[in-house]
Structure 1
C-alpha cells in the first residue's frame, strides 16, 4: 500500500528573490515569515500582524501590492517512510504560477490553480532533509504576459482574469474585493508506492430499476506484471478488472443489482453506498480507492424550448441557489464550514446548488455533503463574464483542467449537470465585445460548443451538458431568450422594478436577485464610518455593484419612499430584497412545469458586502434566508394577478395529492372580514392549480385599508392592492414579552391590529445571537414567538432597545 507523508503545516514564506518588489513589500525583503499550508500569503501576513484585515474599511486597497509581488515558500523534506520503488511529490492545488525545485533541482512549473501536480522525486530524497521551494510569480505578471502574447480580449471587469487559469473573482467582482491571492492552497504530500498505484478511478453510477456501474480504472506502474482491480459495493464484490502485462487502463460495466436510488431532496432518500476499488498483485493489495456513491439517472427535457430536470425519470422542480466561493481565501474553508453552509441551504428548502463559473471546483467535502443531503449540484466549468482565448498557452491548460475535474467529480451522485460557462455566450453581443480591441479574436466559443462537450461525452456521458448559462440551445435564438431553455433575469434590478418579474414566464430562471446590505453587526464590524450613512465612504466601498446604492434607492422609492434614517434604510432594503425575490419565485412557481425552476443569485458571500446574498459574509442570515423556507416550501399558496384578475395559485411540490378547503377573505387592518369565499380544491402531486378569486372578494371597498388573505391548511398568502407608502397602516399595538430560556430568549409578540413585516435582528442583542425566523406579518389578534439563541447569556432588556424588534408600520411612521 502507498505510504503518505503529509507536508502541511508550517513553512517559511518570503518575498521571492530577484523578482519585482513593490514599495509596500520592501520592508519584507529578506524577511522570513511563518506560513501555514494549505493557505495563502494574505492569511499568513495577517496571522503575523503584517497586514490589516482587508475586509475592514478600505484596507483592501492597501493589500493590492500582495498580488503584484512574487513569493517563495520553503521547507525541508525527507522521506521517513518504508523503502519504495517510487516516491512522488503531490500538490493538490497551487495558486497559481509556480516553479518548484527540490534540493536545487527543478521539478516543474504550474500555471493553473484548478489542477493537481505530481512529480517523481525518488532519486532526490533519502533520510537527509532537502530544501523544497515553491516560487510563485504574480498572477498579474503571468496574465499580462499572456495578454501581450495573444492580444487583448474584452471582459466585464477590469482584471485580466481571462488570461490565467485562476479563481476569476479574486480579481474583483460586483460583490467581491480585489484580493489576488498566491499560495499552496490545497494539501501537499509525499507519496511512496511500489509496482503500481491507482492513478484515477472513474465510476459512473446510474439507475434504471437496478443499479449499473460503468467503471474505468487508470493505473500507473513501475513494472510490467499481471494485476487485477477488485470492485466492492458495501463490501460485496460486483466486478473484477484485469490489467495484464503493462496495461494501464481497464474498463467494465457492472450490474449492481437491487439498490435504492439516490434521490434529491423532496423526492426520496439520497441513498449512498460504499464503493471500494482494490488494486491487487496476486493476493497483495497495492492500493485502495474508496468513496460513497449513489445510483441515479439524470436528463433534461428540452422539448419545445423547455428546460425541466428529470431525476430517475421523474420531473423535478428546481428550487436552487447560486454558490460563489464562501471565502475570498478558499484555503480557509473546512468540511465543517461547508457542512454548515450547505445545511443552511437545505433547511431553507433548497434542492440545487449551482457552482458558479467565476469561482473554483470545490473541495471533495463540498460534494460529499451535497451527496448526503440530497442537494443536486449544477457545476459550471470555470469561465465567466469574458472572452477567453482559445490558443496556447491556455488551451491545453483548459483541456487538462476539465479532464481532471470531470474525473474527480464523477463519483458524486449530487452532480447532475455540467455547464460550459457563465454568461459568456450571452454577453458578447449585448456588451458590444466584437467591436472592442480583441473582440474579433477567439473568445471561447470553441470551448463551450466543441471542447468541453466532447470531454463530457467521453468521460461522463451519465450527465447532461449545457453550453452555458444562459443558453437558448443554439444560435437561432438569442442566448438569453426567455422562451428557450435557461434565462438570466437582470433587467429587473438593473433597470426595472421587481414587479416586472411578472411580465414573463421564462422556461428556466438560472439567475435573478435583488440586493440588500449585510446584517447590521456585519456592516458595523466592516465599516468604522461615523456617522454610518448609506452613502458614507466605508459603506460605498463595501458596495461593488455599478450604481448599486442608486439601484437600491430606486427600488425602495415606489414602495416605501425615502428612508428616514440609516437604520430605516437597512430595514427597508432587507425587506425589499425579500419582497423582490418573493415576487419572482411565486410568479414563476405558479407557471410550473412551463418554468422548470429558479436559481436565486446568490446563497452566500465571501466577505462583508452589500449584495444579493441570503447569508452574509460573516455567516449571518439575512431575512431572505428565512423567506426561502416559504418560497421553496413543498406546499404553498400565493395570490397572483392573472388575465386582469386575481387567482390563488396552489403550489404542490409534494408527491401526494393536496386536498383541502381554500378560504379567501378580504379584511381590514383590524381583522373585520368584509367578504369571504371558500372552495374545495384537489391538486395532484407535483403540480399547480389556479383558483380564481371571486369578484365579490377581489373588489376592494377601501384599497388603502383592506387586504386579501388566502388560507389552505397551514399555508397562507396575502395581497395588498396598493403600495406600502399609500396604505393606511394603523398602530398595530404590539405587546412584547421576553422569556429567558436555556441558551437564549423566547420573544412573544402579539398584535392587536395588522403588524406587517415584524423583524427581530438578533445580532443587535448579541453578535453571536441567532433567531429562527425573519419577517413575520401578524394579522389582527395574531401572535408569534421569535426564538433567539446564543452561546452566552443574553440581556432580555436589549430586546426592547431601538431597532432590535420593529415592524413596517412603525418604520414608515418614523
Structure 2
C-alpha cells in the first residue's frame, strides 16, 4: 500500500503516471479536488498492530507514507493543475496520523452502519465536518435480477445471488437492516423492492440530519452512484441505468431548497434547508392526521430561509393526540411557493412493522400529453412509498417511491417507451405501495434479526469497527 521511495526508477514511473492522468482529467467539469489515496491512513491502527514488534519498520513505513502523500504527490499534481486543491487521503484530517476519521476536522468514512452492523440511527450520533463515504446496500429491480438467474434461484443463499454480492455477509445484512423497520415480505420481488426503500430512507434521513447541522457539516457523499456490472451493491443506479429508490429520493433530500422533518419522541421539528446563495420565501402547511386523512391538528407557517442555512421553522407537540389515537398517525408537511407545491414530507411515530396500513384506494388516470404520459393520482388513505412501473420497459418517472397522503393529488410525468402507445401504457402500468405486500409473522422477523445480531461474523465485525 506504500510506494518504495528508495527506488528512483519506480518513482519516475509513478510520476509519469500521475502526470498523464492529471492532464487527462483536469478539465473534467465534475472534478472538485485531487485526493491522494483511499482509506490507507484510516487503516494505520491495523498496521501498528501488524508491526508492533518491529518499531523500526513501522517508523520507516510512516515516513514513507508522509513523504509520498504529503510532499511528493501534491507537488506533482500542483505542477499539472495548480488551481485545484489537493487532499492527502480520504478520510484524512489533513495532518498525518492525527485525528483520522474523526469528526473535528477533515473528512470521514462512516461504515459502522453496514460493515459494523450499527443501526441506521447511528448516523445521527455524529456530525463530522464532511462525510465523503457512507452507504447501505439494496437489491436491484426485478428486470436486473433476472440476469442473475431464473426466479427459482432468487434466494439470498443460492449461488445466483451470492456470486453477485459485493460485500462479505452482505445478503445477511440486507435482511438485518430491512427488519429494523419492516417485516420480511413473502415474495422475493417484494423483498428486493423493500431493500431499495430501506436504502433510500436510511441515506435520506442521514443526509437531512447533516444538512440541518450545516453550521458544522459541510456536505455528504454517499457510496455509490452506479454499478460496473450486474451486482447487489450500494448503488442508486444499476448497471443497466435503472434507477433504484435511492436515486429518486436523492433528488428530494439533496434538493437545493428542501423541507425536513425531525421527530424526537412526540415532538416534530420542521426545518427549511436552503443550500442556494439567495434567500427563499414561501409557506409550509402541516397537519397531524390519521392514515385515512382525518385531520386532528394543523397549521400554516410563512417562512423565509436565509441563504446557505438550515432554518428551524416550528416544533409541533403531538403527545395529546398520540395518547388518544395511538401511534397510527402521520405528520404531513407541504412546502409551497406561490401556487406550486415544492415538496411533501411524511413522518410516522412508529416503525412500519408495528403499524397496519389500510388499502390506499388509489385513483389513477393516465393522459397522453403528446408523446409523454401524465399520470394523475390521488389516494383515499396514506399510500406509503408509491412506486410506478411499466413492466417490460425502462422508464424514468419524474418522481417515484414517494408518499401520497389521503386527499393530495399528484401529477407524475414519464416518456412513452419506443413502440408503445398510451393505451398499452395504461394497461401495463403497475403501482405498488407498502400496503400491497404480504407479511411474514412478527416472531419470524424477531428471530431472524436476533440470529444475525448474535452471529460470530457480526460480533467480530462490530469489534473491528470499534477500533477504526
Q: TM-score range by the shorter chain?
A: 0.7 to 0.9
8 Å contact 1:515–1:610 — kept in the other structure? Answer: yes
1:40-68 CA distances to partner (integer Å, 9 max, x unpaired)?
xxxxxxxxxxxxxxxxxxxxxxxxxxxxx
**Does 2:35 align with 1:419?**
yes
| Counterpart residue number, 1:667 | 289
| Counterpart residue number, 1:585 | 207
SS at match of 2:298: strand
| Counterpart residue number, 2:262 | 640
| Counterpart residue number, 1:751 | 379
The 2-side partners of 1:799 and 1:428 are apart by 58
SS at match of 1:562: coil
**Per-residue deviation, 1:729:** 0.9
The 1-side partners of 2:98 and 2:436 are apart by 49
* Counterpart selection for 1:722 from 342, 347, 350: 350
Superposition misfits of 4+ residues, deviation over 6 angstroms: 436-439, 797-801
SS at match of 1:725: helix
**Per-residue deviation, 1:583:** 0.9
Query: Structure 1 residues 771, 432: closer, same or farther in 2, change over 3 A?
Result: farther
8 Å contact 2:267–2:319 — kept in the other structure? Answer: no
Query: Structure 1 residues 497, 413: closer, same or farther in 2, change over 3 A?
Result: same
SS at match of 2:162: helix
Q: Where do residues 44-63 of structure 1 align in structure 2 (5 Å cutoff)? A: none
| Counterpart residue number, 1:805 | 431
Q: Where do residues 227-306 of structure 1 align in structure 2 (5 Å cutoff)? A: none
Q: Where do residues 508-527 of structure 1 align in structure 2 (5 Å cutoff)? A: 508-527=130-149
Query: Structure 1 residues 468, 521: closer, same or farther in 2, change over 3 A?
Result: same
Q: Where do residues 640-659 of structure 1 align in structure 2 (5 Å cutoff)? A: 640-641=262-263, 645-659=267-281
* Counterpart selection for 1:687 from 289, 309, 313: 309
| Counterpart residue number, 2:184 | 562
Query: Structure 1 residues 563, 739: closer, same or farther in 2, change over 3 A?
Result: same
**Per-residue deviation, 1:431:** 7.2
8 Å contact 1:708–1:719 — kept in the other structure? Answer: yes
SS at match of 1:636: strand
* Counterpart selection for 1:705 from 322, 325, 328: 328
The 1-side partners of 2:155 and 2:362 are apart by 29
Whose helix proportion is higher, 1 or 2?
Answer: 2
Whose strand proportion is higher, 1 or 2?
Answer: 1
Which fold has the larger relative contact order, with Cα–Cα distance below 8 Å and residues 6 or more apart in sequence? Answer: 2
| Counterpart residue number, 1:553 | 175
SS at match of 1:397: helix
| Counterpart residue number, 1:460 | 81
**Per-residue deviation, 1:740:** 5.5
**Per-residue deviation, 1:796:** 5.0
| Counterpart residue number, 1:776 | 402
TM-score (norm 2): 0.82
The 2-side partners of 1:790 and 1:531 are apart by 30
TM-score (norm 1): 0.49
The 2-side partners of 1:643 and 1:506 are apart by 24
**Per-residue deviation, 1:432:** 6.6
The 1-side partners of 2:373 and 2:262 are apart by 37
**Does 2:20 align with 1:399?**
no
| Counterpart residue number, 2:222 | 600
Q: CA RMSD in A?
A: 2.9
The 1-side partners of 2:284 and 2:90 are apart by 39
The 2-side partners of 1:437 and 1:768 are apart by 57
Query: Structure 1 residues 745, 460: closer, same or farther in 2, change over 3 A?
Result: closer
Higher-Rg member (1/2):
1
8 Å contact 2:282–2:304 — kept in the other structure? Answer: yes
| Counterpart residue number, 1:479 | 100
Query: Structure 1 residues 739, 761: closer, same or farther in 2, change over 3 A?
Result: same
The 2-side partners of 1:590 and 1:638 are apart by 8
SS at match of 1:691: strand
8 Å contact 2:378–2:410 — kept in the other structure? Answer: yes
The 2-side partners of 1:794 and 1:436 are apart by 69
